[in-house]
Amino acid sequence: QQQVKQSPQSLIVQKGGISIINCAYENTAFDYFPWYQQFPGKGPALLIAIRPDVSEKKEGRFTISFNKSAKQFSLHIMDSQPGDSATYFCAASRSGSARQLTFGSGTQLTVLP
């Protein structure tokens, strides 16, 4: 019940296109869902996060869509740029567990120029 399943494993998008990465979780106690961006040799950087009391959150070109009933959430990157090429991780946490993050397996995004 602690797993977060992420898909696809890799994604290739043309410059200007929309990148969509999906995650699903089982533990209904999760109440915080962040997305991280990681470049090779670097630590994960917090991109955007959502709580289950809203269905969508947008920050610039990045949008999280959240479906509580389906226990799914997704990251949409609008107008994808070559500089967005990185590995993206979804994660989840809950209260009572010191807010430890449970991560998905990652999606390697390549944006072609």
Partner 1 sequence: DAGVTQSPTHLIKTRGQQVTLRCSPKSGHDTVSWYQQALGQGPQFIFQYYEEEERQRGNFPDRFSGHQFPNYSSELNVNALLLGDSALYLCASSLVGGGYEQYFGPGTRLTVT
Residue ranges in contact with partner 1 by CB under 8 A: 6, 32, 34, 36, 41-46, 49, 89, 91, 93, 97-106
How many residues belong to the chain?
A: 113
Residue number, 25 or 44, with CB nearest to partner 1: 44
CB of 1 to partner 1, least distance (A): 14
Residue number, 5 or 15, with CB nearest to partner 1: 5
**d(C-alpha 78, C-alpha 62), whole Å:** 7
For residue 64, give every residue at least 6 positions away whose Cβ sits within 8 Å of its Cβ, in sequence order, or none. 33, 35, 48, 49, 50, 56, 57, 58, 73, 74, 75, 76
CB of 33 to partner 1, least distance (A): 10
Residue number, 45 or 54, with CB nearest to partner 1: 45
CB of 25 to partner 1, least distance (A): 13
First to last CA, the chain: 40
**d(C-alpha 14, C-alpha 2), whole Å:** 34
Residue number, 59 or 79, with CB nearest to partner 1: 59
